[in-house]
Amino acid sequence: MQTSPNPLTINAFDHRTTVHRAGNGKPVALLHGSGAGVSAWANWHKVIGPMSEKFDVIAPDIAGFGTTEAKPDTKYNIMLWVDHFVGVLDALGIDRISVVGNSFGGALGLMTTINHPERIEKLVLLGTPCGHFPLTDGLRAQGEFDGTMASLRRAVSFFPYDDSFISEELIQARFEAATRDGALEAFRKLMPPPEGENPIVRGIPEKMLRNVKHEALILHGREDRLVPHHCALDMHQWLENSQLHSFGKCGHWVQIEREQAFLDLTRTFLEA
């Protein structure tokens, strides 16, 4: 996997932050998911170019992920990540932006919308958790990453429906990112191992989502093994101005597994 050409380094919410930026037009943020070795570039490198043909695209490494600073004495939670994302927008002089969020990135986009509705234009939500559901094997594998190649391979294996999307280049790039100095310690703070026999994942609850009035496009793989497909159905019911597109034989990486459909649907929705 090639590396990003000339990423920006900015200060956002007192974190040294890596941001990839390209294009002109309406501003659009691409917010990555979580997991060992994840980064904005890992999640979005194939679509940044095509999206930048029509939009001013920013793709930040969220605080503690990728090459953005992880502070050893800071407690990371969704509200800190909201403050960090708003800090990214402030540092770049962006008043209002549409968000395309994958998984954790979708939840971050939603929480930013709930807390700062004036800063968000539209939402595109890919594999985004909501409500509550039993911990899936795919999410458990992310938390069980222990710094070994074997555990990384197992964690990544849950993302796509078709494992041909997992190349050795991708595995090596994520492993190098996940095991650089201090990365495992930072990751453990962000994603502690699951506890208990039957842990429950708690996403943004129905009551909060019913208050979101922004237009939203929900994209979800029917065979998603990290965030169950029923989350997309629930979210579609709870978000007043939403539309839903489900993809058969597709897992958690809609933007990778259904790249062209993702681009067509997303660009049409954001341009309208």
- Set 84, 224, 234, 242: catalytic member: 224
3-state SS record for 79-119: HHHHHHHHHHHHHHCCCCEEEEEECHHHHHHHHHHHHCHHH
Torsion sign, CA atoms 162, 164, 170, 172: positive
In the residue annotation, 252 being an active-site residue is answered as yes
In the residue annotation, 224 being an active-site residue is answered as yes
- Set 15, 32, 214, 252: catalytic member: 252
In the residue annotation, 15 being an active-site residue is answered as no
DSSP tag of 24: -
Alpha-carbon distance values, 238 to 16, 211, 226, 227, 229 (Å)? 36, 9, 21, 17, 15
Tokens of 30: 């691409």
Q: Are 229 and 220 within 8 A, CB to CB?
A: yes
Show contacts of 4-10: CB within 8 Å, 24+ apart.
4/41, 4/45, 7/41, 7/67, 10/88, 10/91, 10/92
Cα 147 to Cα 138: distance, rounded to the nearest angstrom? 17
- In terms of Cα–Cα distance, which of 133, 135, 171, 170 is closest to 151? 171
- Set 15, 103, 214, 236: catalytic member: 103
Give the catalytic positions in this structure. 103, 224, 252
